[in-house]
Structure 1
Amino acid sequence: MSGTVQNFASADMGSNSGSGSGSAAWRVGVLFSRKGHMREPETEHFRGTALAVEEINLAGGVLGRPIEPVCYDPESSPELYRRYAERLLTEDGISTIFGCCTSSCRKAILATVERRNALLWYPSLYEGFEYSPNVIYTGAAPNQNSLQLARHLLLNYGPRFYLIGSDYIYPHESNRIMRDLVMREGGEVVAETYLPEQPHQDQVVRAVEDIRRRAPSVVFSTVVGQGAQVLYRIFREAGLDPRTMPIASLTMAEGEIRAIGPELCVGHITSAPYFSTVDTPANHRFVEAYRARFGTDAPVTMYAEAAYFQIRLFADALARAKSLDTQRLVDAVLGTELDAPQGRIRVDPDNNHTYLLPRIGMVNEHGDFDIVWEAKAPVKPDPYLVDHIYDHA
């Protein structure tokens, strides 16, 4: 799909849209893919966004006015992201966009967003080392997932790390950080390998053969999208056991686990602020509402949750700013706290990123994550790793 969607109902999300139309509506842009190699996590971003918008509109909107989404499907393509962002900000007269999953897509639209003085709400974890006054970052920065994961793996599995990633900016930067953490703690990186963003199965087979040959303690994967699903399947088909040599990730969530097959993934590890098994009243309500909306078997993931709570943050800021003016919205949202499904979050006025609660989960036989570790309190985002202290917990 490459055209405009004036509400979520016409984007194959069901019929209970609740979106408004007309000059009184708050018009915003939505850029998440439902096609291409990133379709699973980006569809979850899209659904979390849809659920929050619909709930707000059914409750009367913001200041009595509905939120009206103008949506495009960039099909996992940075070039389409760039094109549709330009269209939203010029032809459609939009100034606020909710969108992007991969860093390559965020980077593709960032210059346009800044040039037009628009505001991007970005709900995905990423590699850090970025700040824009025109972006609100609601996903995890490296000090909210990578640091905690490195410590957990070194303590519980051993010092020999195999790094494998997709060949673009996020994996390269995340692996650079992980290499630094591992080596500083006396560990060893036995290999660092990259696959195309849409790898051929033979390329994955060769990588898994190399993993078997080098016999690391753990595999740290920044392979994303469909390539990650192929990697996890071939890993098990090769007879490698996640209980003794897990693949550890910052990106693998419940949706992709279900697509791979939970029986192939038991024992693999993800570090993230949110899993569907988080035990908070807000999360119980969120999971119930999400599955009522999208199906009782719909996987509830970090991608859906961050997209959901950032719409809630936006609505709160909009109610105070009373305007879609970028600077007024930014001023209103900085410092804002919210009881998100994952727990209490806060937008840091220092860097536009979000205080989040780091957690580590292990895949169980149901395709969910058993939370095996969590921080005692939300961690201040440190996207540039200025306060590069290993143990933040």
Structure 2
Amino acid sequence: NIFYTGATTNQQIVPALDFLKEKGITSLYLVGSDYVFPQTANRIIKAYAAANGIEIKGEDYTPLGSTDFSTIVNKVRASNAGAVFNTLNGDSNVAFFKEYTNAGLTPQKMPVVSVSIAEEEVQGIGAQNIAGQLTAWNYYQTLDNPVNKAFVKAFKDKYGQNRVTSDPMEAAYVSVYLWKNTVEKGKSFDVKAIQDNCGGVTFDAPEGLVTIDGGNHHITKTARIGEIHPDGLIYTIWESPGPITPDPYLKSYPWAKGLSA
């Protein structure tokens, strides 16, 4: 009964790791909030790292809402890791990046890749504290295509020119139209009719063409690595060659065998 329009692991975390590997990163430090998503994400990251010759220099978790990062940042700095993979959520990111900057750590010295920081969060953290750092998503406000330009204009016209769009926001928007297109395909609002007709339904979304996988109810998505700029927006610096087929349990990745057990 559930359809997912956010990224699966192989559409966000795995591409981010592929990007870091391509850039010659050979060691990582893992920092996350202490709940199920970061813990699970880091299990996946550690399995990928083991199979790809990447050393995990450290792994730290902090309670949701935590604002004291002095000890963790000191450990990160002392580790001399090639990069930090960040799965912190909420206000903790504000404190973490302020401490990171105060400690003299820069994107050039030790880049941070985040999977929970979008344009809204950049505003909260302050662009001056996070400019140059990296994010892994499927959508950014700055995507240069006609559909996205119309989407951003309509959003700003309604909610204010100072407002920003973001990946989670766009995914919610996409879900409504995929539901609409599935209802129209099945000629019914009935749940079973939607389930039976969802496979192959597409939508020309702001992020690009997306397609529902009828087997797992996820959608195809293009992976994008973005760099945060001083203007508070995120600009694509790498993207997958095309939409990635969703593989929520990483069944097509030999190194992930056993993670779902």
Under a length normalisation based on structure 2, what TM-score does the superposition of the two structures give?
0.93
CA contact (8 A) 2:57 2:81 kept: yes
Q: Does 1:138 align with 2:14?
A: no
Which residue of structure 1 lines up, in the alignment, with residue 125 of structure 2? Answer: 260
Which residue of structure 2 lines up, in the alignment, with residue 81 of structure 1? Answer: none
Letter in 2 for 1:160: S
CA contact (8 A) 1:157 1:245 kept: no
Letter in 2 for 1:190: K
Letter in 2 for 1:287: V
Which residue of structure 2 lines up, in the alignment, with residue 368 of structure 1? Answer: 233
Q: Paired residue for 1:169, among 18, 28, 36?
A: 36
CA contact (8 A) 2:181 2:202 kept: no
Question: Rg: which structure is higher?
Answer: 1
C-alpha deviation, 1:223, in angstroms? 0.6
| Structure 1 runs not aligned, ≥5 long | 1-133
Q: Does 1:193 align with 2:51?
A: no
Q: Paired residue for 1:292, among 154, 157, 181?
A: 157
CA contact (8 A) 2:31 2:87 kept: yes
Equivalent residue runs for 1:30-41 within 5 Å? none
Which residue of structure 1 lines up, in the alignment, with residue 221 of structure 2? Answer: 356
Q: Does 1:342 align with 2:207?
A: yes
Which residue of structure 1 lines up, in the alignment, with residue 258 of structure 2? Answer: none
Residues 169-188 of structure 1 show CA distances to partners (whole Å, capped at 9, x for unaligned) of 11011111111112211110
Which residue of structure 2 lines up, in the alignment, with residue 17 of structure 1? Answer: none
Q: Distance in 2 between matches of 1:386 and 1:293?
A: 42
Kindly tell me the number of residue pairs found equivalent between the two proteins.
255
Letter in 1 for 2:238: W
C-alpha deviation, 1:210, in angstroms? 1.2
Equivalent residue runs for 1:3-82 within 5 Å? none
C-alpha deviation, 1:278, in angstroms? 1.1
C-alpha deviation, 1:191, in angstroms? 0.7
Residues 301-356 of structure 1 show CA distances to partners (whole Å, capped at 9, x for unaligned) of 00110001111111222334454432122223332011000000000112111000
3-state SS of paired residue (2:165) = coil
Letter in 2 for 1:327: K
Residues 246-300 of structure 1 show CA distances to partners (whole Å, capped at 9, x for unaligned) of 1101221111111111121111111111111111111011110111111111111
Which residue of structure 1 lines up, in the alignment, with residue 259 of structure 2? Answer: none
Equivalent residue runs for 1:130-279 within 5 Å? 134-156=1-23, 158-199=25-66, 201-202=67-68, 204-279=69-144
Letter in 2 for 1:178: I
Residues 50-107 of structure 1 show CA distances to partners (whole Å, capped at 9, x for unaligned) of xxxxxxxxxxxxxxxxxxxxxxxxxxxxxxxxxxxxxxxxxxxxxxxxxxxxxxxxxx
| Structure 2 runs not aligned, ≥5 long | 256-261
The alignment's C-alpha RMSD in Å is: 1.5
Q: Distance in 2 between matches of 1:314 and 1:245?
A: 42
Under a length normalisation based on structure 1, what TM-score does the superposition of the two structures give?
0.63
C-alpha deviation, 1:227, in angstroms? 1.3
Letter in 1 for 2:55: E
CA contact (8 A) 1:243 1:266 kept: no
3-state SS of paired residue (2:91) = helix
Which residue of structure 2 lines up, in the alignment, with residue 303 of structure 1? Answer: 168
- The higher relative CO (CA closer than 8 Å, separation ≥ 6) is in 2
